[in-house]
Amino acid sequence: MGIISENVRRITESLPSDVALMAVVKTRTAEEVLEAVEAGVRILGGNYVQETAALAGRVAQEVKWHMIGHLQTNKVKKAVGIFDMIETVDSVELTREIDKRCAQAGGTMDVLVEINSGREPNKTGVTPEDAEALVRTIAQLSHIRLRGLMTMGPLFGDPEASRPYFRETKRLFDRLDSLGIPGVRMDLLSMGMSHSYTVAIEESATLVRIGTKIFGERIG
């Protein structure tokens, strides 16, 4: 068993049954990604449209591809042909472009709203205060299905420092769910990365995004 396969096995065994594992494939080779898939990973997260398109052509089709990087509106047309879910919806403009391109392609896209839980001015995502308005816009569109929220949170060395941001995102998730907005299905909460996923799970994450702990440190 290779090191990637062993890492996947160890992480998978440590996860609660209701938490899904995503392997983050940024800068990874097709061979690395295939080893993770063969070890049981079924969700792959890509940061860039072009890079993911190249990998998707070489990886088994039973996996689901999630867009986890910032998506520019001029890349949406290509993105809707590659990804099964876009986790980084953070503006009305992007939302409407996804809806338009999916309509043209005759499909529907599952999305998460990205929450800027740290309210960092240099980061993507919508602030918690503005999330409801965006959710209500998404609910009016025919070719997008809102499935929940995603957050990065500020990047700290100490995983515990991320806890308040995960907790706030969970509170927002619950509040939005309680509104009972037609067409909105709040069932996915994507939080936590290699350094913080155990804390994220304690704060009710249902999907964790792990790269380094599966593939090792990036080179270059």
Residue indicated by tokens 């065994």: 13
In this structure, the chain runs to a length of 220
pLDDT at 155: 77
User: 3-215 domain in CATH 3.20.20.10?
Assistant: yes
- The average pLDDT across 105-123 equals 95
Residue 183 vs residue 42, higher pLDDT: 42
Lowest mean pLDDT among 109-118, 132-141, 148-157, 172-181: 148-157
Task: Give the integer Cα–Cα distance in Å for 144 and 130.
Answer: 19
Tell me the C-alpha to C-alpha distance, in Å, between residue 30 and each of 56, 93, 109: 9, 33, 25
pLDDT surpasses 70 at 142: yes
Lowest mean pLDDT among 49-63, 64-78, 97-111, 199-213: 49-63
Task: Give the integer Cα–Cα distance in Å for 26 and 15.
Answer: 22
pLDDT at 219: 60
Rounded to 5 degrees, what are φ and ψ at 197? -70, -30
